[in-house]
A = this chain, B = another copy of it.
Amino acid sequence: MSLSVYERDDILAMEKRYRAAFVNSLSGFKSANLLGTSDTSRQTNLCMVSSAFHLGSDPALMGIIIRPDVVPRDSLDNIRETGVYTLNHVQEAMVSAAHQTSARYPRGVSEFEQVGFTPLWRERINAPYVQEAAIRLGLILREEHTMAINGTHLLVGEIIEAHIPDCCIGKDGFIDIEQAGTVALSGLDSYHTTKSVGRLSYAKPDTMPEWLD
């Protein structure tokens, strides 16, 4: 298999859109979530995020990345205003509509209406869930960091509600997100379903791991 090495200067010299597609592919597969927010008058906003990642279990923490140059920055403004947001797993049937939420709709236009998702409100949190999503999370903003190198924002949220289909939870707490229909993302615009290879036992120095079940 022939292979090319791209050095720092090669990457910096790439045409802007080419570089964005290239570099966005490098981290591996990404999570696909819809970020639901609202201002205090319940004007809703919904956008695709591929950056949600695990930050800790006790308390249950998740990070998301928000670019500094997104205008209008409805989601970030809403989160700072209300202190809460939702993350909703994207399933295969939702992919086109979920992708469409990244179009630059004018401020005051709700992506829920534009792309055809249903906002679901719960008492404890002033941010809309996506009714169509099988797995939904409600979060409170706990911490914010700004990257000095490019101004990107890291929002750290604590999960205060998790909506999980009963059929997908294992005896040991594992949630079968493949069975729930959650998709994976790669690059900027590529969507993937998954096929389980299996689960491996807890790794110990003296033995190789075994496939569970």
B152, A143: Cβ atoms under 8 Å? no
B58, A65: Cβ atoms under 8 Å? no
Q: State which of B26, B30, B170 has its C-beta within 8 Å of the C-beta of A29.
A: B30
Nearest B-chain residue to A2, judged by Cβ:
B166
Chain B nearest CB: distance from A168 CB in Å? Answer: 9
Q: State which of B52, B149, B152 has its C-beta within 8 Å of the C-beta of A28.
A: B52
16 further A-B contacts with Cβ under 8 Å, apart from A28-B30, A30-B54, are A3-B166, A7-B161, A8-B160, A11-B162, A19-B58, A21-B174, A22-B57, A22-B173, A23-B60, A23-B159, A27-B62, A29-B177, A53-B53, A145-B147, A192-B194, A194-B195
Q: State which of B24, B61, B95 has its C-beta within 8 Å of the C-beta of A200.
A: B95
A88 and B30 alpha carbons, distance in the complex (Å): 15
- Total count of chain A residues near the partner, CB < 8 A: 119
A178, B182: Cβ atoms under 8 Å? no
Given A23-B159, A100-B208: A143 and B135 interface contact (C-beta under 8 Å): no
B21, A173: Cβ atoms under 8 Å? yes
A31 and B96 alpha carbons, distance in the complex (Å): 22
A40 at the interface (CB under 8 A from B): no
Given A57-B20, A65-B55: A95 and B194 interface contact (C-beta under 8 Å): no
A41 at the interface (CB under 8 A from B): no
